[in-house]
Structure 1
């Protein structure tokens, strides 16, 4: 067998250590030679953010963080950075917070030090996203890749279990999509499979013992691997669907991914039996679909898009928008009929296996 591929790794420094974020954030800012930071953190995350920036030079605080990063919100953050002559961005929060920092970096070139407080994974990618007029636009740009990521699993201890589950399953979606995404290669797949193993072990521990650090660390490790794989492999069918649903209907990001994932896996797995068996082994089951279903049962996963605001009458327009974005190399040929069936199953919460 001849193996041929081109893999490009993204240049990023990662510091992973529990209960040490404050010191590492200060160290990373110093490494960049920065002196005028802007801290981007939602008001609801102040209790986590305050101790992390106490040792920094006087920092500008920006608290307007909105899901899916509307363009007007991004513009206000860019204006704030310019008015205060900021030289580094520190994002402390989940995917929406990281996304806003990326939106600022996209036009200013400012470096980002990212401190994730969920398992979103955006901090490890060079992908940006902005929403305007009900449409979410995404792109790839080296300017938005955080220079440093400070991972501290203790920051996840206050993340409620239901949101931890949704966020962790969003990370798992990065793994699954990376197995057949447009640019996938053996390195991406190896990272994704290890990510699946870590997440299927870590998430049930988080549910069993929300204040235990071991499950949080394992889940965070898996989320990082998932994001690295996704950044290289690109956006597959799952993410095209979720970006459309999020942008058009303002559905919650993590929960949407958690609901859609089993339906995309069941849709694509039969077309790639060898890949499916590798995923099954990572799940510790004979079938990848069954492995994901077992995990979802263990953690009480979100089940139906209708629970998060999608109306049945919204489905036809969503089908139209997704059809225009389907990756050409998706394992299963996508047409209007089977895509609508997938979305209807995700809408009403029908299980896949």
Structure 2
């Protein structure tokens, strides 16, 4: 029997299938914003979609910043905060993947809390062991909000929490507040055409991982379960379609909508499991891109969890359109068919020392404790060895 409550996120609207430049400008006007500051990855700095947004905003465009690198380092966030503050930003636009969108979330919090140095982030990060949606005591709420225009399928635009890498300790730390959630999300498939295929497809597997671990969660909810099922249906069809024809905008939008639906549970705090927990460590400590972490880990975590959630995994197979098949095998076949990495060796993790460090970092992630099958350090290490 289900038991729980669904808390609606602070997203005011999701606009899909429309031109991002038009929607961003409409949202800026609707909110009375006069100083719109745009965050983009360096890869997209000269992309036509960035230029169109700047032109459509006209005098409202306060500047564009492209200094955020992979995994959102602390130093990059503080530098972006200084640039946004100097520009007098009253609205942020984040155009890019998870690293850019997460950066925008934490820039909001840094602006509200007068952060000028990386050391000040220690007082704002979520404490280890606290739930992912647990706001740090004393944190001032963001006042400057964000519009997100995602170019990948990582899904950061639909959640309130953000990962920022502390390079000194090689650990990804979490910053969370309900108002870090973008107030508007724009799903424009045209904005994704510059995204490299490996990044598009691997983050699509990341979105699939969101849906899969929602269905198997210890606190699954009926609303998120239904959304996750539809997310799997869309992603399992749309990702192979975009692999075969990267110019197909309808399939790209289907994948974007699948990503959106995969995050319904995350928006209200439905806990994930070991694929996400170990994935955070593989990314923050091992330096592996977000999407690749799910490609490498998800099939192995599904196999580990099967004894505890076999009935839930049957729903995953049903959503794939192959009722009765093994869910881990279906996921593994999809990843292989997209030409994505499937082992730790494929993503540059080759030594025992690396695996030890990733194991240690995994044990600090709160979602290790919420994996549907309880696990200890030895079992985390065993999953990493299986993925080797």
- Indicate the TM-score class for this superposition, using the shorter chain for normalisation: over 0.9
For residue 99 of structure 1, what is the aligned residue in structure 2?
Answer: 102
Q: Please, which of 58, 70, 75 is the counterpart of residue 72 of structure 1?
A: 75
Q: Give the match's secondary structure for 1:120.
A: coil
State the 1:333 CA deviation.
2.4
Q: Does 1:279 align with 2:280?
A: no
2:350 aligned to 303, 306, 311, which one? 311
Does residue 15 of structure 2 align to residue 16 of structure 1?
Answer: yes
The answer on 1:296 being equivalent to 2:335 is: yes
State the SS of the aligned residue for 1:249: coil
Counterparts of 1:78 and 1:158 in 2: how far apart (Å)? 26
Query: Offset at 1:95?
Result: 0.7
Query: How many angstroms apart in 2 are the aligned matches of 1:44 and 1:224?
Result: 24
Seen in structure 2, the aligned counterparts of structure 1 residues 44 and 324 have a Cα distance that, compared at 3 Å, is closer
Superposition deviation, residue 255 in structure 1: 1.3
- Provide the C-alpha distance between the structure 1 equivalents of 2:78 and 2:196, rounded to a whole number of angstroms: 31
8 Å CA contact 2:71–2:165 kept in 1: the answer is yes
257-266 or 200-209: bigger deviation: 257-266
Q: 1:350 maps to what in 2? A: none
Whether contact under 8 Å (1:40, 1:63) holds in the other structure is: yes
In structure 1, list runs of 5 or more residues that go unmatched.
Answer: 348-353
User: What residue is the counterpart of 1:145 in the other structure?
Assistant: 181
Quote the residue 2:235 is aligned against: 199
Who is 1:334 aligned against?
Answer: 375
**By how many angstroms is 1:15 displaced?**
3.6
Q: Contact 1:127/1:231 (CA < 8 Å) preserved in 2?
A: no
CA contact (8 A) 1:306 1:312 kept: no
Q: CA separation of 1:155/1:58 partners in 2, compared to 1, >3 Å: closer, same or farther?
A: closer
> Helix, strand or coil for the counterpart of 2:104?
helix
CA 1:339/1:113 → structure 2, altered by over 3 Å: closer, same or farther?
same
Change (3 A) 1:282 1:113: same
Alignment of 1:127-166 (within 5 A): 127-132=161-166, 133=168, 134-166=170-202
Q: Which runs of 5+ in 2 are unaligned?
A: 113-141
Tell me if 1:259 matches 2:296.
Answer: yes
- What does the per-residue CA deviation read over 1:12-39, in whole Å, with 9 as the maximum and x for residues that have no partner? 1334333521111101111221000111
Measured against aligned partners, the alpha-carbon deviations of 1:248-271 in whole angstroms (never above 9, x if no partner) come to 122222212222111111211231
The answer to whether the Cα contact below 8 Å between 1:120 and 1:167 also exists between their aligned partners in 2 is yes
| Deviation of 1:346 (Å) | 1.8
In structure 2, distance between residues paired with 1:195 and 1:258: 17
Task: Tell me the residue number matched to 1:44.
Answer: 43
Say what the alpha-carbon RMSD is for the aligned residues: 1.7
The answer (yes or no) to whether the contact 1:26–1:53 under 8 Å persists in 2 is: no
Deviation (angstroms), 1:272:
0.9
Give the distance between the partners of 1:82 and 1:321, measured in 2 at CA: 33
Q: How far apart are 1:182 and its partner, in Å?
A: 5.2
In the TM superposition, residue 160 of structure 1 has moved relative to its aligned partner by 2.8
- Structure 1 stretch displaced more, 214-223 or 134-143: 134-143
What is the SS of the residue equivalent to 1:184? coil
Query: How many aligned residue pairs are there?
Result: 346
229-238 or 124-133, which deviates more: 229-238
Moved more, 52-61 or 275-284: 52-61
**1:120 is matched with which residue?**
154
Partner secondary structure for residue 39 of structure 1: strand
Give the TM-score taking structure 1 as reference length: 0.93
The CA deviation string for residues 202-247 of structure 1, in whole angstroms up to 9 with x for no partner, is 1011011111112111111101111222232134221111111211
CA distance in 1, matches of 2:257, 2:148: 15
1: CA distance, partners of 2:320 / 2:175? 31
